[in-house]
Amino acid sequence: MKRSLSHTVWECKYHIVWVPKKRRKIVYGKLRQELRTILKRLCQYKGVEVIEGTICIDHIHMCLAIPPKYSVSTIVGYLKGKSAMIVFEKYSRLKRNFRGYSFWARGYYVSTVGLDEAKIRKYIKNQDINGSVRVCERK
């Protein structure tokens, strides 16, 4: 579906994956449910649509429609940075395990979603191993 801004018609979709620092298996239980809410809210603030998403115990997969006024690195930095601050605020016990506010590892994986959107959405849905939490149940 094509979207529009004041002078632009666009369709920019990206498959993004990132992990906690040292790929720790730390995203489970209440924290997993909280991250789902946090990430959806942060995306709404920036006008980013969550097409598909899964939160696994040691990584996060998201398929996002990012408006062209933002770069992918800006949005990923925003999601990782703000979510880490909110997580540390609510779960202060985690501060002992991580230096500073670096809850997430520095890098991330990104690829553009073109004609393979259905295949990528299926791949993200199939990450439901070990009771992972879906970020979005869009059909």
Rounded Cα gap, residues 88 and 74, in angstroms:
21
Q: How many CB atoms lie within 10 A of CB 14?
A: 19
Q: What angle do CA 129, 134, 139 make, to 5 degrees?
A: 115
Rounded Cα gap, residues 93 and 109, in angstroms:
28
Give catalytic residues, as residue numbers: 123
Q: Is residue 42 within 8 Å of 83, Cβ to Cβ?
A: yes
